Structure 1
Amino acid sequence: MSSISTTSPLSDDEYTELDTLLARPELAGRAMDVSMLEGFITAVALSPNQLASTVWLPWIWDHTGGNTASALDDAATARAEALAQRHFEYMVEWLAKDPDSFEPIYECGPEWSVPGWCAGFLLGTALDKAQWASLAVSHPDYLAPFRHLAVATELDDETAEAAMDGVIPSVIAINAAWARQRHLKSQAHSQAGSTVLRDVPKTGRNDPCHCGSGKKYKKCCADGA
């Protein structure tokens, strides 16, 4: 991961600790594992709509519906949620500051599941259905790798390998497509109730879009803005 962040990334020991907590028998297999959790967090962090932790945290305990609370004691629950929250904050900063260095955790070792990561990513998109549905219409190729790998049983055939090669470019492309929308919404949120000053030059509708898509502004982020 990038070293530019002011938010501390989880260490290998903390990833293992979190995975162990989420695998405790009291949870009866309802909780995500770290692979699914990171895919989930990546999708939530990418969305232009800032989702409060109270919206996404319950899903780590119940990946089928987000309705079942943690069955762990208070200390273990708080520890797992603190680690998940810190990883989310790091992911947000990573995608904002150095997105080209992004890599999913399964690139770090075979102990982390590719299908689980992609299933978590798709689950994260379900928390902001309208936004992701729009992307699925405009750029169906961006979501294709996740959809294929989430249900893959074999990862050594050509189709699966091609899909795996597409995950990182898709995350980077989605991040670029929505970067300006996130910036505008974050700015509006932080300056709510006060006059919002434009801190970038006004973009003409026929100018290249700021997000880097290569499209004209009127065909890209102008609609979202």
Structure 2
Amino acid sequence: MNTPLISAEYARLGDCLPRGTVLSLLDGYLAAVASGPNLVMPKQVLGRLRNAGEDHDQAMASMVVRHYLTVNDALNDQIYVPRVPSVQEWCRGYLAGFACDMMAWAPLLASQPDWLKVIMSGAEDPPIHGSQEALTEVARNIHGFWVERRRLGMDSNFLLGPLAALSPGQAVSATPIH
């Protein structure tokens, strides 16, 4: 069972993140990775973050994994609420997670283009449409979309995508989240 981070751990994690990266951005990024078309294991999330040029110590890695699992569990239970002191940063993080596997998101973009538009407009400066309520609804809807497609066996070529070819522990290149 995953133990969510406590306030002091969130503060420590925020202090460990690269300069200019806020927890809202990390939360959005992890929500996209957990919600996306391809199943991504926590170790792969760390690999993506490492490829962004960060040198993680064990404590930070543990906190990132725990937060990823918390986000994933909350999305699965349809109780996820974005950590959004900054709507714009959360949306930018989500879009960075989306960019890691952009081609696999095509079925969602074709059938529900407005969902991602909400996130894209929230990433603008200043945010156009990004309230916490709207982001909560969209994040849950996107996650549900991919869960249902996996349940029905649709887009089976997208289930593992490029991650299927990786050996255990191999890092995945991705767009940096800063």
* Same fold, TM-score > 0.5, yes or no: yes
* CA displacement, residues 107-166 of structure 1 (integer Å, 9 cap, x when unaligned): xxxxx321111100000011222222331122111101110111232x5xxxx3x43242
Pick aligned residue for 1:114 from 80, 87, 94: 87
Pick aligned residue for 1:163 from 124, 130, 133: 130
Size of the alignment, in residue pairs? 155
Q: Confirm whether residue 16 of structure 1 aligns to residue 11 of structure 2.
A: yes
Q: Which amino acid aligns with 1:8?
A: T
CA contact (8 A) 1:41 1:121 kept: yes
> Residues 53 and 45 from structure 1, CA distance in 2 versus in 1: closer, same or farther, beyond 3 angstroms?
same
Q: Confirm whether residue 179 of structure 1 aligns to residue 131 of structure 2.
A: no
Q: How does 1:78-89 map to 2 (within 5 A)?
A: 78-89=58-69
Query: Residues of 2 paired with 1:54 and 1:150: CA distance?
Result: 27
Q: Report SS of the residue matched to 2:144.
A: helix
* CA displacement, residues 33-79 of structure 1 (integer Å, 9 cap, x when unaligned): 21111100000001231124454324445xxxx34241x6xxxx211
CA contact (8 A) 1:37 1:60 kept: no
Q: CA RMSD in A?
A: 2.2
* CA displacement, residues 157-185 of structure 1 (integer Å, 9 cap, x when unaligned): xxx3x432421111121122111344x4x
* CA displacement, residues 74-116 of structure 1 (integer Å, 9 cap, x when unaligned): xxx21111100011112222211x21x221111xxxxx32111
Q: Confirm whether residue 41 of structure 1 aligns to residue 30 of structure 2.
A: yes
Q: How does 1:58-207 map to 2 (within 5 A)?
A: 58-60=47-49, 66-70=51-55, 77-96=57-76, 98-99=77-78, 101-106=79-84, 112-153=85-126, 160=128, 162-164=129-131, 165-182=133-150, 184=151
Query: Residues of 1 paired with 2:61 and 2:83: CA distance?
Result: 18
Q: Which amino acid aligns with 1:136?
A: L
Aligned residue for 2:159?
none
CA contact (8 A) 2:35 2:72 kept: yes
> Residues 16 and 119 from structure 1, CA distance in 2 versus in 1: closer, same or farther, beyond 3 angstroms?
same
Structure exhibiting the larger radius of gyration computed from Cα positions: 1
> Residues 32 and 102 from structure 1, CA distance in 2 versus in 1: closer, same or farther, beyond 3 angstroms?
same
CA contact (8 A) 1:144 1:163 kept: no
Query: Residues of 1 paired with 2:60 and 2:154: CA distance?
Result: 39
Aligned residue for 1:212?
none
Q: Report SS of the residue matched to 1:163.
A: coil
Segments of 5+ residues of structure 2 without an aligned counterpart are: 157-178
| TM-score between the two structures when normalised by the length of structure 1 | 0.61
CA contact (8 A) 2:31 2:71 kept: yes
Segments of 5+ residues of structure 1 without an aligned counterpart are: 1-5, 24-28, 107-111, 185-220
Q: Which amino acid aligns with 1:103?
A: V
Query: Residues of 2 paired with 1:54 and 1:87: CA distance?
Result: 13
Query: Residues of 2 paired with 1:133 and 1:56: CA distance?
Result: 21
**Structure 1 residue ranges (4+ consecutive) displaced by more than 3 angstroms after TM superposition:** 52-55, 58-61
